[in-house]
Amino acid sequence: MPLVIVTRNQELVSDREVCELGPRLQEIVAFRLSCDDEGGKLTEKDIEVRFQEHGPFDVNTSHLQIVIFANDYASRKANLKERTKGIAADLKQGSCLSPVVFGGAEAGNFVWVRLAPAGFAYL
């Protein structure tokens, strides 16, 4: 079950944008990170999205940071760069986010997919 953590500057990314972004991220991440490895098939319900704001002690922050933690499967790793670029492209297309978020490296906003060996079990 991938975990998406979105950190925002609340002065530049509104509550309305955040409300629309959660379900959109579930859809995009499920599509882009789903794979044929055992346990790798994803639906929108498999994606947990958490939001947080920049704090007063944070340093060198972007307006919007999206970090995705997911299991490290061979097929995900094989084309991770393309999958990550696909997530960013999907967010730009038909986005609920203001144009200030999209500016490439100059804006400093990013999507970062981190794969790690992991186990998961329901309680």
52-68 pLDDT per residue, tens = 999 999 998 888 999 99
Domains and CATH numbers, the chain: 3-116 (3.30.429.10)
Confidence of residue 122 (pLDDT cuts 50, 70, 90): confident
pLDDT of residue 36: 94
Q: Pick the closest to residue 10 from 18, 22, 1 (CA basis).
A: 18
DSSP state of 55: P
DSSP 112: E
Cβ(117)–Cβ(76) under 8 Å? Answer: no
Confidence grade of residue 105 (pLDDT, cut at 50, 70, 90): low
| Percent over 70 (pLDDT), the chain | 95
Name the pLDDT band for 1 (thresholds 50, 70, 90).
confident
